[in-house]
């Protein structure tokens, strides 16, 4: 027994031993490893194959490599830390060791490439529901797929697709979730834009709480699997309705930046293929698929 106990201790578990009573796990720590994640997983096919790393350049890059080599659909790449984490449009994503969730999922949907936006929206609904379920906190989705807590970014999703004109080869769904960072863990220029579950919980409730990342990962995978199945069954309208429910964008004044420059408008609705319908100040109505959107809130635009 002591060999395994020592191994667990090395991985960071706190185990009390007594010569009479045997061993006792003092508390469930936030340890991220493959075994811990697997112990919580309840999915059918998502995460049946997991690649786990202590450090990696970017989980999306690794997922792309194994997808090119023909890995199974549902394969998941997790790393405790990323040294070159990626956000949308080539931006960096701060990926501190021991604090966040950095995970990529390989999907091979039988959908048209034009339905990529729906995959992204479905993923944002899945992550929002998983995080609400795990934390009870009041999260929202900013169009298209950022998860927002207390007007700051809690989770970003980077969807990358490789396709032919009429056939998706694979989709990499990359997630970065800020979990146990304290505010001082974030780079100074991100402190008014980023938040973690721990920091948000402390600021909103005063409670000092650490969250179990392996448990959260398992819940996210379960919810992604559920919405992915709905998508494959053509239940697009149901997914869009769920997205509307969690949206913090709809009904708000937003600032759009696209090839036409920056302009103010009201976010009116989202179409069944995931375009944002906005009404401009001159009364004209536009559908946005791309471009940046900021929402006017009490703290200014987020």
Q: How far is the CB of 116 from a copy of itself (least distance, A)?
A: 6
| Residues 280, 254: Cα–Cα separation, whole Å | 10
Strands 15-18 and 22-25: antiparallel
Instruction: Please tell me whether residue 64 binds a copy of itself under the rule CB under 8 A.
Output: yes
By CB under 8 A, the residues from 201 to 240 that bind a copy of itself are none
| Residues 224, 131: Cα–Cα separation, whole Å | 12
Instruction: Please tell me whether residue 91 binds a copy of itself under the rule CB under 8 A.
Output: no
CB 211 within 8 A of CB 198: yes
Site string for a copy of itself, 95-114 (x = CB under 8 A): -----------------xxx
The angle subtended at Cα 139 by Cα 152 and Cα 256, nearest 5°, is 50
Instruction: Please tell me whether residue 162 binds a copy of itself under the rule CB under 8 A.
Output: yes
Contacts of 51 (CB under 8 A, 6+ apart): 62, 66, 75, 76, 77, 78
Instruction: Please tell me whether residue 158 binds a copy of itself under the rule CB under 8 A.
Output: yes
Q: Which lies closer to a copy of itself via its Cβ, residue 44 or residue 68?
A: 68
Instruction: Please tell me whether residue 142 binds a copy of itself under the rule CB under 8 A.
Output: no
Instruction: Please tell me whether residue 146 binds a copy of itself under the rule CB under 8 A.
Output: no
Instruction: Please tell me whether residue 160 binds a copy of itself under the rule CB under 8 A.
Output: yes
b/e map 221-232, b = 16+ CB within 10 Å: bbbbbbbbebbe
Residue 185 token pair:
């863990």
Site string for a copy of itself, 276-295 (x = CB under 8 A): -------------xxx----
The residue ranges that bind a copy of itself (CB under 8 A) are 61, 64, 68, 88-89, 112-114, 116-117, 120, 144, 158-167, 169, 289-291
């Amino acid at each position: 027994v002591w060999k395994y106990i020592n191994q667990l201790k090395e991985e960071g578990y706190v185990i009390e031993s007594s010569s009479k009573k045997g061993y006792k796990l003092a508390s469930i720590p936030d340890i991220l490893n493959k075994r811990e994640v697997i112990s919580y997983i309840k999915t059918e096919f998502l995460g049946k194959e997991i690649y786990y790393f202590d450090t990696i350049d970017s989980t999306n890059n690794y997922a792309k490599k194994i997808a090119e080599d023909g890995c199974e659909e549902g394969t998941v790449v997790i790393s405790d830390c990323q040294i070159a984490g990626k956000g949308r449009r080539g931006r960096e994503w701060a990926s501190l060791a021991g604090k966040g969730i950095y995970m990529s999922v390989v999907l091979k949907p039988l959908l048209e490439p034009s339905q990529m936006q729906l995959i992204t929206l479905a993923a944002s609904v899945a992550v929002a529901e998983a995080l609400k379920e795990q934390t009870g906190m009041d999260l929202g989705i900013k169009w298209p797929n950022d998860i927002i807590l207390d007007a700051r970014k809690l989770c970003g999703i980077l969807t990358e697709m490789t396709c032919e004109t009429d056939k998706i080869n694979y989709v990499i769904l990359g997630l970065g979730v800020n979990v146990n960072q304290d505010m001082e863990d974030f780079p100074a220029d991100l402190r008014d834009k980023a938040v973690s579950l721990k920091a948000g919980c402390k600021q909103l409730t005063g409670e000092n709480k650490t969250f179990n990342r392996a448990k959260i990962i398992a819940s996210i995978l379960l919810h992604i699997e559920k919405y992915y199945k709905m998508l494959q069954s053509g239940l697009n309208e149901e997914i869009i309705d769920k997205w509307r429910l969690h949206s913090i964008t709809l009904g708000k004044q937003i600032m759009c930046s696209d090839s036409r420059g920056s302009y103010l408008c009201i976010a009116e609705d989202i179409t069944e293929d995931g375009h944002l319908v906005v009404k401009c100040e001159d009364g004209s109505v536009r559908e946005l698929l791309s471009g940046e959107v900021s929402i006017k809130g009490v703290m200014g635009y987020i």
